[in-house]
Amino acid sequence: MKIAFFHARGYERPSLEAENTRHGHQISWFEATLAPETAALAAGHDAVCIFVNDICNAEAIATLADCGVRLILCRSAGYNQVDLAAARAHGLTVMRVPGYSPESVAEHTVGLILSLVRQLHHQHNRVRDGNYALDGLVGFKLHQKTAGIFGTGRVGRAVARILNGFGCRLLGYDIGENDEMRALGMTYASRETLLSESDIVILTLPLTPETHHLIDAESLALIKPGAVLVNTGRGALVDTRAAIDSLMARDGLGYLGLDVYEEEAGKFFEDMSAQIVPDETLLLLTNLRNALVTPHSAFLTRESLAEIATATLENATAFEAGQPDPDRVVA
């Protein structure tokens, strides 16, 4: 099978090339993001492989179909970047990686929490500048704090297991309750209860029409003053402007940690250090002392990259053999 990999980065290629020795697919690498303007690059390929910030909308899909593409491979668990209705209308199959190294994302999530509440990033900057004073660095411990987790899928459960080790009380919110989490001591609660009782609120949900701006001004008004909010799910789960307003309010959020940002497309995964980033909201966010942003890197471990490569190319091989895994087919 001929596969066009879009938005391919150097850190991904070794894992994909190593895995492809088992499959023998013909791979073309494109640094460009998939978009309506670049979709024609896929001409002569049977499949395209895309990442989270590619733009696989109806216009792009129409071009892909005209180019003879039959399969869209998402090398991610999320697939909100794909217009599924358009894919179905053009007869294209869409497959995803259902989950990869949830512990990697969970550990990054807890890393953000610890960095914020113990101000590790500020401590590092001070020491680097020769400032060893402790004023303004007082944090709080996680032991016996309440952690509320929106989404108890694989990542959410991994976060819960780690925070249980810190001695946190666990609250959960999801469309279905998980037996493992209940056995761990998690109490499932309403959205309002979770927000109002949690010292730490964690988002590990997928983005759907129902979860878009799950955390908005109304939700933030329910959160405990001084609470921590961390999002390692999808950027648009949080209304960023509302979160900034809460961070700047006297009785609002205490800390905000984001590995994802609702306007990250065209910025995250790119080196913009030699220019002014054309995003006033992001610039304000990254200059707030009580906010910490990482560039959609929670997944970025050797183990995750290997698992993504394995699942992605297994999907291509299974499709080519006419036996795609129904649990990985989303259109």
Q: What secondary structure does DSSP assign to 187-237, as a single string?
A: EE--HHHHHHH-SEEEE-PPP-TTTTTSBSHHHHTTSPTT-EEEE-S-GGG
Distance CA(25)–CA(298), nearest Å, equals 29
Catalytic: 169?
no
Number of H helices, E strands in the chain: 12, 12
Catalytic: 264?
yes
Distance CA(157)–CA(172), nearest Å, equals 10
Q: Of 45, 108, 157, 234, which residue is the catalytic one?
A: 234
End-to-end CA, the chain:
19
Q: Of 19, 262, 264, 307, which residue is the catalytic one?
A: 264
Q: Of 296, 307, 314, 328, which residue is the catalytic one?
A: 296
Catalytic: 296?
yes
Instruction: Annotate 247-262 with b (16+ C-beta within 10 A) or e (fewer).
Output: beeeebbbbbbbbbbb
Residue from 100, 299, 113, 81 nearest 207 by CA: 81
Backbone angles phi, psi at 291, to 5 degrees: -125, 145
Q: Are 258 and 231 in contact (CB under 8 A)?
A: yes
**Which residues form the catalytic set?**
234, 264, 296
